[in-house]
Amino acid sequence: MDESEPITIEISRRTVIEAGTTALLLTALPPAALAAGPSDNNEPPPPSATVTFQINGRSHELTLDPRTTLLDALREHLALTGSKKGCDHGQCGACTVLIDGRRINSCLTLAVMHDGQSVTTIEGLAEGENLHPLQAAFVEHDGFQCGYCTSGQICSAVGMLAESRTGMPSYVTDDLTHPMAELTDAEIRERMSGNICRCAAYPNIVAAIKQAAGTPT
């Protein structure tokens, strides 16, 4: 090559974007993170924590890693596997349980946050051999297919009916001055929208909830 000829370097638009993104990320990191290498991740785990709560009417005391979610505490430490781990991101509702009567995604909350509180899972809804009205309605209306989401659907429906009885409105409630919104199909679907049924048994789920609420189907 003739040394007098200029040297040209071809840089693509993709290369420029990648280099710029990398530089931006590096400038956002604190100096300690830049100095730490892959072998520096040897920090000891946090000390264990003791939590006491009522699970389905029975007192339990657990010593847990404080990072343990309520869902994992129920499933792995108490063998209450009715609450399912679906997405583990709070998006599907399969892990729904009741905390002091209010529904919550147990995969998004830590067990230690509920010390002294009452937790109800799907295992605690029936009274002996007598199913909870919502459980019976789900069976009667075939409100499930594979059943994986059913425990979360039922627990969520219990919490939702309690919310409705206190006059809590939803996004689709027309009359906010009425003490309790009528549980139409649209109301139930909106209030249960955080619980996903991948088998798409939604019409039967709505019918079951309306029956349990005393609303004609």
Residue in the structure block whose two tokens are 């956002």: 28
- Segment 37-65 shows an average pLDDT of 87
55 strand-pairing partners: 58, 119
What does pLDDT average to over the chain? 88
DSSP state of 108: G
Please tell me the predicted confidence (pLDDT) of residue 32.
56
Residue 37 zone, left/alpha/beta (φ > 0; ψ -120 to 50; rest): beta
Superfamily of domain 126-217: [2Fe-2S]-binding domain (1.10.150.120)
Domain positions in the chain are 48-124, 126-217
pLDDT-based confidence at 66, cuts 50/70/90?
A: very high
Any idea which of 77-86, 107-116, 207-216 has the lowest mean pLDDT? 207-216
Spatial separation of the C-alpha atoms in residues 186 and 208, rounded to whole Å: 14
The pTM assigned to this predicted structure is 0.78
- Segment 151-170 shows an average pLDDT of 95
- pLDDT exceeds 60 at position 148: yes
Please tell me the predicted confidence (pLDDT) of residue 177.
83
Using CB atoms within 10 Å of the CB of residue 35, give its burial: 0 to 12 exposed, 13 to 18 middle, 19+ buried.
Answer: exposed
DSSP 8-32: -----HHHHHHHHHHHHHHHHS-HH
Spatial separation of the C-alpha atoms in residues 38 and 185, rounded to whole Å: 54
Please tell me the predicted confidence (pLDDT) of residue 56.
97
CA distances from 116 to 81, 194, 195, 211, 214 (A): 22, 27, 27, 34, 33
Please tell me the predicted confidence (pLDDT) of residue 31.
59
Instruction: Tell me the two tokens of residue 169.
Output: 């409105």
Burial 177-203 (b: 16+ CB within 10 A, else e): eeeebebeeebbbbbbebbbbeeebbe
**Domain boundaries 48-124, corresponding CATH code:** 3.10.20.30
